[in-house]
Amino acid sequence: MKRLIFHVDVNSAYLSWEAARLCAQGAEDIRMIPSAIGGDREKRTGVILAKSIPAKKFNIKTGEPVASALRKCPGLLLFKPDFQLYEKCSRAFMDICRKYAPIVEKYSIDECFLDMSGTEQIYPDPVAIAIKIKNEIRDTLGFTVNIGIGPNKLLAKTAGDFEKPDKVHTLFLAEMDTKLWPLPVAELFSVGRVAADLLKKADILTIGDLATADLQTVQALVGKKHGRQLREYANGTDNSPVLAEAEDAKGYGSSTTLEKDVTTTEEAYRILLALTDTVTSRMRADGARAFSVCVTIRGNDFKNKSHQKKLDEPTDITAEIYAVAKKLYTDLWDKKTPLRLLGVSLSDITRDAFMQQTLFSDGHKDRQRKLDKTIDGIRRKFGSDTITRGSIYRYGEDVGKKYKAQIKQKKDEGG
């Protein structure tokens, strides 16, 4: 049976989801004007998470500081992120995909793979059914997606990036010489900036050049394992399966696909803390606790790895879950492979209010619970980005002291 894979990717997801909500309320479509999802406009803090096509004309880039974006475009319309909205929209478009595909794999909050292999009798024209899925998402949910079609995940994902927005593209093996091989080598999946520079210096300028290059030469430039993989990708070879996942994991999770590869433990820890902070605050809002913690990583080799730990008793304390997440991450990462994705998920959820009591109170846990409760309260009242745990920043200790001083000052002033 020939493989047939679709890759569905929401166009400028965070901005599109905010635009769909506003349009449903009768407001202007922010996708048509310079706009972005980011931090606080007045304080000029935070970074740009997504931007409209008109904003791109001002050279505004995802990941750049809000202050920098506002210097480029003083009239930029800025919206704070709403992750509850994003999760709702993510579930909605993947539910539509599940109506058509036997197997759907969530790749990130705004991407999924559909394994359409064996559906030829039901959908004889893959492009036609892809257009139908794309249009149903647009007409039902109010935002657009790109769908790439290919014989494997690599080529389907590559096809989806050809032209945006609201498009369907194919990339089959017979089309590689016209659609893939003429592209710059830097556009091949998993070719980072360093690898691209090394290949260019060896006069390997296009993906086609890489596909026909001597394997030993490529391996000498970028390493034995990575070199073999890049040459296979350039020739359209990818045997990774589309993995079916449960629609309802009965838990809490948060993951992020990184624009820049993570290559140090320090960077990973900061991201893990931010993810842990997100999932634990959502869990506490529901009055829940978790018995199990799981960490997932994805390297630039396109492979997922995960470890899970069962706890002796359920917890909702951010610091406790973060400590477990760090240990799981340390066990997972080989300290060599650059990472593209990090995720933290909590399962074996209990909402039983009863907690086993010990004869003596654990003062440390009590302090941690009070800290979590204080942070949750501030965010509910003033917004989710009002306060951030200091360790998320490079100079976490200094930032933490700053927040403590601010909170103490408010208390002294009777705030």
Q: What are residue 94's phi and psi, to 5 degrees?
A: -70, -30
pLDDT of residue 406: 39
Task: For 330-381, write each residue's pLDDT tens digit.
Answer: 999 988 889 988 999 998 887 644 344 333 345 667 787 777 777 777 656 5
Q: Where are the beta strands (DSSP E) in 154-301?
A: 168-170, 252-262, 289-299
CA distances from 75 to 42, 65, 70, 111, 374 (A): 13, 16, 7, 31, 35
* Segment 279-286 mean pLDDT: 85
Torsion from C-alpha of 20, 25, 31, 34, nearest 10 degrees: -140
pTM above 0.75, yes or no: no
Q: Return d(Cα 393, Cα 70) in angstroms, integer.
A: 22
**Which residue shows structure tokens 């197997």?**
103
- Give residues with Cβ within 8 angstroms of 242, minimum separation 6: 5, 103, 104, 105, 113, 114, 115, 153
Active site residue 64: no
Q: What share of the chain is helix, strand, coil (3-state, %, to 5)?
A: 45, 20, 35
In the chain, what are the domains? 1-171 (3.30.70.270), 180-234 (1.10.150.20), 252-378 (3.30.1490.100)
Per-residue pLDDT at 24 exceeds 60: yes
pLDDT band for position 45 (50/70/90)? Answer: low
| Structure tokens given for 310 | 């069962």
What tokens appear for 177 in the block? 């010489």
- In contact, 318 and 274? CB cutoff 8 Å: no
The amino acid at residue 103 is: I
pLDDT tens-place string over residues 129-163: 999 999 999 999 999 999 999 999 999 999 999 99
Say what the pLDDT of residue 351 is: 64
Q: What is the pLDDT of residue 179?
A: 96
**Of these residues, 18, 28, 105, 111, which one is catalytic?**
111
Helices and strands, number each (H, E), in the chain: 15, 12
**Cα separation of 184 and 188, whole Å?**
8
What is the longest distance spanned by two Cα atoms in the chain?
73
Residue 316 · residue 372 · CB < 8 Å: yes
- Residue tagged 């997972």 (tokens): 332
Strands 145-150 and 168-170: parallel
Separation of first and last alpha carbons in the chain: 68
